[in-house]
Structure 1
Amino acid sequence: MSELISVRNLYKIFGKSPEKAVELVKAGQSKDELMNQANHSLGLKDINLTIDRGEIFVIMGLSGSGKSTLIRHFNRLIDPTEGEIIVDGVDVMKLSKKELEQFRRHKMSMVFQRFGLLPHRTVLDNVSYGLKVQGIKKDERLQKARQWLETVGLKGYEQQFPSQLSGGQQQRVGLARALCTDAEILLMDEAFSALDPLIRSEMQDQLIELQEKLKKTIVFITHDLDEALRLGDRIAILKDGELVQLGKPEEILLNPATEYVEAFVKDVNRARALTVETVMQPPVCRISASTIGGALEQMKKLPERYGYYVTDEGYQGVVLQDTLEEAAQTNASDTLGEDMMEELDAVSPDAILESVIPDTLETDYPLPVVDAEGELQGELSRSNLIEVLGETSRQAA
């Protein structure tokens, strides 16, 4: 992935003399000290991060952490006290008023927590509104709006008004409106937090499904770690305006950088949050020889008395040393066939750990991890699971 958004040395101070107050922050004053001693509020402190093209980048933290302040810097709804915001090679701070207007219309779309729909306009008009602002002709914008309404599951609701829709339906309209402008970047500020849990889960599913097709760059704000882990390719965690950890979901879960992050992740159900790929080990016992004798020679050099048999067509099954030794006494030069392999179903690297726990416990061997092309990627053993999932129990204790 290539870098699309870059934030460098970003500070935001709210108050009458932010330029003076920022020097106090650089000198070491905390958020509370800045408020008590200088009557200024620290919004962001020395934020440095990059967001890649086509990823879902989640910014999370508790109320007052600075997450909404940060996202509003990307389209300059808020200007920084100090620092740079570079979007697709363009310094956003150097845009003129007219250039900024075009930037907001074409480069970024925003989905709000409270939907932000125009109550006096129909669903169709709400979705097409951004295109109207862009100057797109009526027939074209309405046709495109209808397509996006169908995409988000609201075909047939075109002439309804927002007040006639449920909360989940209203948020789908908001999502369709943001997507309709064909902006490359989607900013979503607590977009699902006002929804009931079941509807929220459905919207998360829809966003994941849409992203697989659209490959937008999505900056998603949330205070919910489960939501962040489910949606994010990477997660940035803020506390009191500071970036305390940035990494992939599994890095945040398995290696919290601070006590604050550790407190965030301690109650997460790792079996539901982690995939096989995050905990699997490289496949040590790989057998590739085509004959019984050749396979046995390879087996004797391995640390275990079994191996995953792999051909040009990918993973084929598990073969045991005992089986090879018995067969080699009479037909060592024969081809290694399917009848000599143990049946052991493979698991996908994308599978959630919870879904493979039963298979892991029922087999005598680590499960082979095989990708969609049939290639052996790794192995998942009981000890892998115990090590990762057992950590949760120790933290809870």
Structure 2
Amino acid sequence: MTNDSQIQPLIQIRDLFKLFGSKPNTVMPLVREGLSKDEILAKTGHTVGLKAINLDIKKGEIFVIMGLSGSGKSTLIRHFNRLIDPTEGQILVEGLDVMKLNTKQLEQFRRSKMAMVFQRFGLMPHRTVLENVGYGLSVQGVDKATRNAKAKQWLETVGLSGYEAQYPSQLSGGQQQRVGLARALCTDAEILLMDEAFSALDPLIRSEMQDQLIELQKQLHKTIIFITHDLDEALRIGDRIAILKDGELVQVGEPVDILLNPADDYVEAFVKDVNRPRALTVETVMKPPAFRLTADTIGEALKQMKRIPANYAYYVTDEGFQGVVCQEALENAVKADEQALMEDFEVEPLTPISQDAPLESIIPATMGADYPLPVIDADGDLQGELSRAHLADVLSDFYSDDADSTDNTDNTDLQKSNLTNKDK
């Protein structure tokens, strides 16, 4: 990928406004004056759907747009492929101004560039599963043999091989949504628009669909715009999240930014009840590994140790993290032989943790360790560290909220106490 493609967002939304009513253009001056949504409605009978939306969406990311009912999230997603035209503003896709497309160009744009997955599946009941999946290709004029072959491939990808001849009414809700997802993917559209795609499913099936979307995205690297009112879902699948309120953009950021640094009371109310230890991974909160020893001899290692403010460091070789070393042990070893090799030095074992692990899973290990735990990636390379102090800082608000909701001291209160009191 070139630097230009990294810099240029795939989708750009610029100063987008949408007013619903008979004469929206005449009401725009009041909107720009700053009147509220309720004031606009009372004075003019017009409803503010979107107000001054500016967004950049990167190629290959899952971008989640969320908010309460009436926040404008579904209105916004329908602007991307111009199912709704804005009152004012620009919609740019790879630099192309979608607002300037004529009817024929817009039709081609929708067929080839964007595919939509609907909340209520949107399947045609009189067509088989195979025909539903291949429908987008049939509209594009692809021959039957080719589209059937491709539809079968996508059905296999979403776990529905063997269901080709079934009809939608013969499938469960989760299976129907898999068909809808396969149909969207079958067109090879670069951008997927998913409007509350999983909200009609029961919790277990919904979780399975979220998992499948995450796994598919690892292979496909589509640009996915996903609408939801569920913050847990947004945190689980989103690379970045935009939160809307009354048609206005309140905050945009990575899940950890939304969770740990809510922009205002509205966002804070959203994140209040999120299970933070389960939602955050080690990678999102770890600190860079500040203190490393890479010396070949004990004498050189001690010199390195004396240059750092801590009395411990991680010993790292070409093979990755080896263990933790304290200054006192090095000083004792130098007295015997400062030229002795570090590879023969008995480092203190310390089990590293994965950067992908949820915080919930590593709390006991972090609390029981004498040193901050080293964090490694899938290749075993040292990426950071997680200390009890940092963990307590990140989780204290969550445990405080839990403690406030109970009248007596429970395990959660004790855990918070331990995190704080055992801080090094």
The bucket for the TM-score relative to the shorter chain is over 0.9
What is the aligned partner in structure 2 of residue 284 from structure 1? 290
- Which residue of structure 1 aligns with residue 365 of structure 2? 359
Runs of 4+ in 1 over 4 A off after TM superposition: none
Correspondence 1:250 to 2:256: yes
Correspondences of 1:190-201 after superposition (within 5 Å): 190-201=196-207
Partner of 2:50: 44
Residue 338 of structure 1, CA deviation: 5.4
Alpha-carbon contact 1:306-1:321 (below 8 Å) kept: yes
Q: Which deviates more from structure 2 when the two are superposed, residues 104-113 or residues 355-364?
A: 355-364
Say whether 1:57 aligns with 2:57. Answer: no
Which residue matches 2:266? 260
Q: Distance in 2 between matches of 1:215 and 1:344?
A: 36
Letter in 2 for 1:46: A
Partner residue, 1:104: 110
Shift of 1:30: 0.7
Quick one: which of 23, 27, 48 aligns to 1:17? 23
Name stretches of at least 5 consecutive residues in structure 1 with no aligned partner. none
> Judging changes above 3 Å, is the alpha-carbon distance between structure 1 residues 80 and 51 closer, same or farther for their aligned structure 2 residues?
same
Q: Secondary structure at the match of 2:57?
A: strand
Structure 1: distance between partners of 2:37 and 2:90: 22
1:318 to 305, 319, 324: 324
Q: Is the 8 A contact 1:306 1:318 kept in 2?
A: yes
Q: Quote the residue 1:181 is aligned against.
A: 187
Does 1:137 pair with 2:143? yes
Letter in 1 for 2:149: Q
Change in 2 beyond 3 A, CA 1:169/1:338:
farther
**2:301 counterpart residue number:** 295
Query: Matches of 1:114 and 1:282 in 2, distance apart?
Result: 45
**Match of 1:340, SS?**
coil
Given that 1:323 and 1:340 are in contact with CA atoms closer than 8 Å, whether structure 2 keeps it comes out as no
Q: Quote how far apart the aligned CAs of 1:23 are.
A: 1.4
Q: How does 1:69-84 map to 2 (within 5 A)?
A: 69-84=75-90
| 1:136 partner amino acid | V
Q: Is the Cα contact below 8 Å between 1:111 and 1:189 reproduced in 2?
A: yes
Q: For residue 296 of structure 2, what is the amino acid of its counterpart?
A: S
Following superposition, the deviation at residue 372 of structure 1 comes to 2.5
TM-score, with normalisation over the residues of structure 1? Answer: 0.98
Following superposition, the deviation at residue 302 of structure 1 comes to: 2.3
Match of 1:65, SS state, is coil
Amino acid of the structure 1 residue aligned with 2:246? D
What's 2:173 paired with? 167
TM-score, scaled to structure 2: 0.92
Distance (whole Å) between structure 1 residues aligned to residue 285 and residue 237 of structure 2: 19
Task: Show CA shifts across 1:79-127 (max 9, x none).
Answer: 0000000011110000010000000000000000000000000000000
Name whichever of 270-279 and 243-252 sits farther off.
270-279
Shift of 1:268: 0.7
CA distance in 1, matches of 2:357, 2:72: 34
Please name the residue that 2:410 is paired with.
Answer: none
Checking the alignment, whether the CA contact within 8 Å between 2:298 and 2:345 is kept in structure 1 is no
Query: Contact 2:322/2:349 (CA < 8 Å) preserved in 1?
Result: no
Is 284-293 or 88-97 further displaced after alignment?
284-293
CA 1:124–1:338 in structure 2 vs 1: closer, same or farther (change >3 Å)?
farther
Equivalences, count: 397
Question: Which shows bigger deviation, 169-178 or 289-298?
Answer: 289-298
Instruction: Check conservation: 1:317, 1:341, Cα contact below 8 A.
Output: yes
* Equivalence map 1:383-394=2 (5 Å): 383-394=389-400
Q: Please, what is the CA RMSD of the aligned residues?
A: 1.1
Contact 2:59 2:223 in 1 (8 A): yes
- 336-345 or 284-293, which deviates more: 336-345
Query: In the alignment, does 2:236 pair up with 1:230?
Result: yes
